[in-house]
Amino acid sequence: MNGNEIILDNAFLVLAEEVVHGHVVLRGGRIAALGRGRSRSPAALDLDGDHLLPGLIDAHTDNAEHHLVPRPGVRWPTLPGVLAHDAAVATAGITTVLDAIACGSDHGKEWRKDIVRDTVEGISQAQAAGHLRADHLLHLRCEVVADDMEESFAAHVDNPLVRLVSVMDHTPGARQFVDLDKFRIYYKGKHGLSDAQVDAMIEQRQRRQGALAPRQRALVAEACRRRGITLATHDDATVAHVDEARACGAAICEFPTTLEAARAANTHGLATILGAPNVVRGASHSGNVSARELAREGLLDMLTSDYIPASLMQAAWMLAEHVGFALPHAVALVSANPARALGLHDRGEIAVGRRADLARVRPTAHGPLVRQVWRLGERVA
């Protein structure tokens, strides 16, 4: 933690309720003071009128997995992969990231059961050694229809970095894949399967859902309840799914696939989180509800980068420029709101006493340009 004083001057500060031209004083890794107008200190760093935002908080990214298995059958060394992932995250303005770790394998991704331990240990060791630019926590994604989920989950749920657990069910005909034709198109295109192979997969998965999902969902929910870990559900499509989430004790509705599910989550006090790539693209890649539509309906509480770290900053800016959000409201979706939902009360806003996690951003015709990033008052990008 940096004990020296740093003054960031001549910036547009994106505060909780307004954007003001001013300066911020960083001391001991925290925000010690902030003020309107220019600083009088000759040692102040001139930010040339750029915007200064709280460091972004990303509750779900698969980016580490992409670096560790960059091609089918290619296993990259763990520590170099983690460091490359971390660099991509930090340079995107993300100062706190929850690395999504899959507990339970999937077709074409059977290797997940082989890398989960290495991934968790690599992130934990790199974090403890101070090698990482961003603050890394863990998000365990539990595939409740996978027969190897329970073993992976039990091995890692007590890791002190675990901050979020989500339950997923990718059974054909349910949730993300309610439309079986879209399931067929997805798996035939991605894995080169024949119609007969896809039909056999559908039958097997639907049979396995009845045998595994209720018991494993209850097991995960009880483990989170005992440990005080925030629980999320994944790909809720109906009111019944949201009711099931409430019964499990979930606090977050992650990637609802329909307007109906998002409205039900909002009614019952579940925070709704969607992918930033959905905002940037203007639509879900799998044909589900548009994040921009949920934003206009007042049903969007948080954004996550999902699979592209740079999308988080870009999506917040797009909500401000194209959907009519005030910039502080848009930025809260990627900072204050996830901090609150995850119990990270020491960060997420530019305010006295909060962590000095900050991102310097210059608006351009092509979107926001992240120019500098500080974590705990230390320059990391």
Q: Best-predicted range by mean pLDDT among 87-96, 111-120, 145-154?
A: 87-96
> What's CA 335's distance to the chain center, in Å?
11
- How many other CB atoms are found less than 10 A from the CB of residue 195? 9
Distance CA 224, CA 215 (A): 15
pLDDT of residue 173: 66
CA dist 134 and 57 (Å) reads 10
Say how far apart CA 339 and CA 167 lie, in whole Å: 20
Average pLDDT of the residues in 2-26: 93
Q: Locate tokens 């709101």: which residue?
A: 337
Query: In which band, very low, low, confident or very high, does the pLDDT at 228 lie, cut at 50, 70 and 90?
Result: very high
Cβ neighbour number for residue 351 with a 10 Å cutoff: 13
Q: Are 22 and 46 in contact (CB under 8 A)?
A: no
pLDDT of 159 reads 96
Task: Examine the pLDDT at 138 and tell me if it is beyond 80.
Answer: yes
The closest of 178, 137, 171, 111 to 304, measured between CA atoms, is: 137
Rounded-to-integer distance, Cα 163 and Cα 232, Å: 11
Q: Report d(CA 319, CA 220) in Å as an integer.
A: 34
Structure-token pair, residue 48: 């040339």
Residue 338: name the closest of 258, 291, 274, 262 by CA: 274
pLDDT tens-digit readout, 335-351: 999 999 999 999 999 99
Amino acid at 167: V
Measured CA to CA, the distance from residue 303 to residue 331 in angstroms comes to 10
- Residue 20: band (very low, low, confident or very high) from pLDDT cuts 50, 70, 90: very high
Do 226 and 208 contact (CB within 8 A), yes or no? no
The contacts of residue 222 (CB under 8 Å, 6+ apart) are: none
Q: What CA–CA distance (Å, rounded) separates 339 from 348?
A: 6
The pLDDT of 55-66, averaged and rounded, is 96
pLDDT of 1 higher than 60? no
State the average pLDDT over residues 88-96: 98
Query: Residue written as tokens 């004790």?
Result: 249
Average pLDDT over residues 136-149: 94
- pLDDT of 110 over the 70 cut: no
Tally of CB atoms within 10 A around 248: 18
pLDDT recorded at residue 109: 65
Q: pLDDT for 185-194, tens place per residue?
A: 777 766 677 8
* Positive or negative: CA dihedral 128, 77, 192, 290: positive
The pLDDT tens digits of the residues spanning 193-224 come to: 788 887 777 777 777 776 788 899 999 999 99
What CA–CA distance (Å, rounded) separates 226 from 209?
25
Torsion over CA of 175, 179, 182 and 184, rounded to 10 degrees? 100
- Which DSSP symbol is given to 63? H
Q: Which two tokens stand for residue 99?
A: 């690395």
Q: 166, exposed or middle or buried, with CB in 10 Å at 0-12, 13-18, 19+?
A: buried
Tokens of 350: 């530019």
181 to 187, 194, 284: CA distances (angstroms)? 10, 13, 16
Domains of the chain with bracketed CATH = 1-53+348-381 (2.30.40.10), 56-346 (3.20.20.140)
Residue 2 pLDDT greater than 50, yes or no: no
pLDDT of amino acid 176: 67
Helix ranges (DSSP H) in the chain: 63-68, 78-91, 112-128, 149-156, 180-191, 195-227, 239-248, 259-267, 276-281, 291-296, 311-322, 327-332, 336-341
With beta carbons less than 8 A apart as the criterion, state whether 112 and 104 touch.
Answer: yes
Q: Mean pLDDT, to the nearest integer, of 256-271?
A: 96
Per-residue pLDDT at 178: 67
